[in-house]
Chain A
Amino acid sequence: MIENIPLQYFLIVGTLMFFIGVFGFLTRRNLITILMSVELILNSVNINFVAVNRYLYPNNLHGHFFTIFIIAIAASEAAVAIAIIINIYRKFSSINVENVSSMKN
């Protein structure tokens, strides 16, 4: 099914997605959108893992399992992050990163 698509295509998609995520991470100010950017980054990495696994080392499943673990970690991360976001929202009535600066000074 993938005979005609070179590995590089997948990798480039992953790369572009990664840097779009980075761009989002750097520009967005809402904590939740930042979280979403992070999800994008994680996903792009997953694509790379999986593609490399399939194309270069089909004899084992390392990339595959790594992706599974990353998904699990992403899930826990999202849970904790959202808990923190909600807590911050309670305290500052905002989830704008620039407003959250009580550790400064």
Chain B
Amino acid sequence: MNFTYTILIPIIPFIIFLFIGLMNSKIKPSLAASLGTGGMLISFILSYYTAFLYFFKSVKVDGAYQKIIAFNAEWLHFTDKLHIDMGVLLDPISVMMLIVVSTISLMVHIYSIGYMKGDDGFNRFYSFLSLFSFSMFGLVVATNIFQMYVFWELVGVSSFLLIGYYYQKPSAVAASKKAFIVTRFADMFFLIGILVLSFVTDTFDFITLTDTTGSAITQGGSILFMGMSTMTWALILIFIGGAGKSAMFPVHIWLPDAMEGPTPVSALIHAATMVVAGVYLVARLFPIFEISAPDALMVVAYVGAFSSLFAAIIATTQFDIKRVLAYSTMSQIGYMITALGVSGYGGHEGVGYMASMFHLFTHAMFKALLFLGAGAVIHAVHTNLMTEMGGLRKYLPITHITFLLACLTIAGVPPFSGFFSKDEILVAAYHHDKVIYFIQMFVAGLTAFYMFRLYFRIFWNTEPHYHHTPHEAPFSMTFPLMFLAFAAVFSGFIPFEKLVTSDGLPLDLHTEWEVAIPAISVGLIGIIIAFVFYKKESSIPDKISQNLRFFYRWAFNKFYIDELYMFVTHKIIFNGVSRPIAWFDRHVVDGTMTGIGKATEFTAKSIKGFQSGQVQKYGFVFVSSAILLAIAFIFYWFY
């Protein structure tokens, strides 16, 4: 089966990016929007067509889905074995990601027509969106790890451009800068990881790397340092890169600030697609993680679990609705990462892997929906703070219903999709590591609580005085909401275990009720607490926060991680390293050079006196030197 046409999926947005970007001021916004959306629609259709062909028509070997290289061309030649190729790799996860990216991207394109209407930089916005879609497609279909890194950087920069979209707002500029630098910092480790990995395995190619029977996977077993093997180090370094993009603790600090960008951007990049790149990366390299570096996989599991707990706690204390969603995203990605961490390779062991991908899929749908819904709310009331909202269910019926569905989904209420994916993750954790299982269970409850806190504060609670009556968003905005709500509700019924598994073979799974029932109950408890606290104006939350004042303030200030970073960067790096280096360069290094010049000048000045122009002085020196020389010679020769 020929899949070569799949290169069109990334190429089309790229061409549109170039066109809109270069013609920026010369074309009408409507043209830009229709071009962007139209191009995306083509990619969308192609993605679904590809998925259909791949999952249902392609040739399976021994019942397993094969990795298909649809296209591959050498782009940059390093050595005979190491070269960056640009190509398209199709396997279950990349095809699934194509679906996710194209769906969310198309929805956001449509949504933005309404949301960004009348904005100065409308064309710019669409060109950046296209750039992002191009990069993200390129990332998911990467055939080798270096291609992934290339597009990894490109998504990073698109994210930077889109966060800083309102570039005249200092907070947006700061946020975009922060996002880029923090992820760049993580990417540095990614790059080092790639170098170490390629040094031991001699290849960048994913298929060679992840071939469980190949030789690459067994390389680098020797101990490097700190008791871990080279391969473990390489993979941990690579994972740090993934953690940076996926906002895992401790490199998560950019994600909440990234909410300075326009809301559709948050939905697309910072909820559904780019932030799961880290998960995707680990999934991509999963066989190596599992087979040759289980230590690294344990790190992955614990980082994920801790991040999900950490983020969930912060999310309960925030008032900015987009920030709550941002922390929620971080928490949910923590889930996916953990799921990978507790998974094994192949067969029933691989349920965590499948669950992670499943959750990635459902999360993309419902989190995008939540963000777009939040965007509709913000569009209506022009504020981000939930304290200035309330009772909006009357004004925004469609938003209200879709938002409620999304909240139920994320809370894990059956039969919505979130229930299925989260349940699989808990099952995997239950069988693998009980500590993680309990953490995740607790986080499930917290999730339900903070989501419904959000929901009740926005749509119920006391209605504040609005300056002008909020009104429902236009159809271009509500359509994506409805579409995504549909996806969020029903995607749980997709037979993921048959399609996306670690070794390509279908799994046979059934709900494990001893895990599912506690999960559902925890979720319901969370919802009920939120209902009690926030359905009507209530003083209980204040009292609780008063009683837990210390801890509350700690969580409210995001555990002071930002301050810690500020301290490290500004006080230590800027003042402790950079300023001394600047000083050192100007005064010591340059001072030495200038000193040499000064010394020359000084010498010249001091011997200038000899050259007085006084003939008699010269004469004296001449005569006495001549005599001394004569005496010296005579004594030397004759005595």
Contact = CB atoms under 8 A, between A and B. Distances in A.
A-B complex is real: yes
B616 A104 contact: no
Nearest to A101: B613
B619 A26 contact: yes
B613 A104 contact: yes
B612 interface: yes
B615 to A, nearest CB: 6
A58 to B, nearest CB: 29
Interface residues of A, number: 11
A104 B615 contact: no
Contacts of B615: 34, 97
Contact of A103 (B613, B619, B620): B613
B616 A26 contact: yes
Contact of B623 (A22, A29, A34, A103): A22
Interface in A19-41: 22, 25-27, 29, 34
Q: Which residue of A22, A26, A27, A98 has the most chain B CB atoms within 10 A of its CB atom?
A: A26
Contacts of B2: none
A26 B623 contact: yes
A105 to B, nearest CB: 9
B614 interface: yes
B612 A104 contact: yes
A26 B620 contact: yes
Contacts of A22: 619, 623
B619 A25 contact: yes
A98 B619 contact: no
Interface string A72-104: 000000000000000000000000011001011
Contacts, number: 21
Interface string B597-639: 0000000000000001111100110010000000000000000
B195 to A, nearest CB: 64
Size category, B interface: under 10
Contact of B616 (A97, A101, A103): A97
A25 B619 CA distance: 8
A27 to B, nearest CB: 8
A98 B614 CA distance: 7
Chain B at the A interface: SS class: helix
Interface string A25-69: 111010000100000000000000000000000000000000000
Nearest to A103: B613
Contacts of A25: 616, 619
Contacts of B612: 104
Contacts of B623: 22, 26
Contacts of B620: 26
A22 B612 CA distance: 20
A38 to B, nearest CB: 10
Contacts of B619: 22, 25-26
B604 to A, nearest CB: 14
Nearest to B612: A104
A97 B619 CA distance: 13
A85 to B, nearest CB: 13
A90 B612 CA distance: 23
Contacts of A101: 613-614
Q: Which residue of B613, B619, B620, B623 has the most chain A CB atoms within 10 A of its CB atom?
A: B613
A34 B614 CA distance: 13
Contacts of A29: 616
Contacts of B614: 97-98, 101
A27 B614 CA distance: 12
B625 to A, nearest CB: 13
Contacts of A34: 615-616
A25 B618 CA distance: 11
Interface string B21-33: 0000000000000
Contacts of A104: 612-613
Interface string B228-251: 000000000000000000000000
Interface string B561-595: 00000000000000000000000000000000000
A80 B551 CA distance: 105
Contacts of B613: 101, 103-104
B281 to A, nearest CB: 74
A67 B616 CA distance: 26
A22 B615 CA distance: 13
Interface in B228-283: none
B614 to A, nearest CB: 7
Contacts of B616: 25-27, 29, 34, 97
B117 to A, nearest CB: 78
Nearest to A29: B616
A82 to B, nearest CB: 16
A26 B613 CA distance: 14
Interface of A: 22, 25-27, 29, 34, 97-98, 101, 103-104
Given A25-B616, A34-B616, A101-B614, 7 more contacts: A26-B620, A26-B623, A29-B616, A97-B614, A97-B615, A98-B614, A101-B613
The 6 closest A-B pairs by CB, nearest first: A104-B613, A26-B620, A103-B613, A26-B619, A26-B616, A101-B613
11 contacts: A22-B623, A26-B619, A26-B620, A27-B616, A29-B616, A97-B614, A97-B615, A97-B616, A101-B613, A103-B613, A104-B613
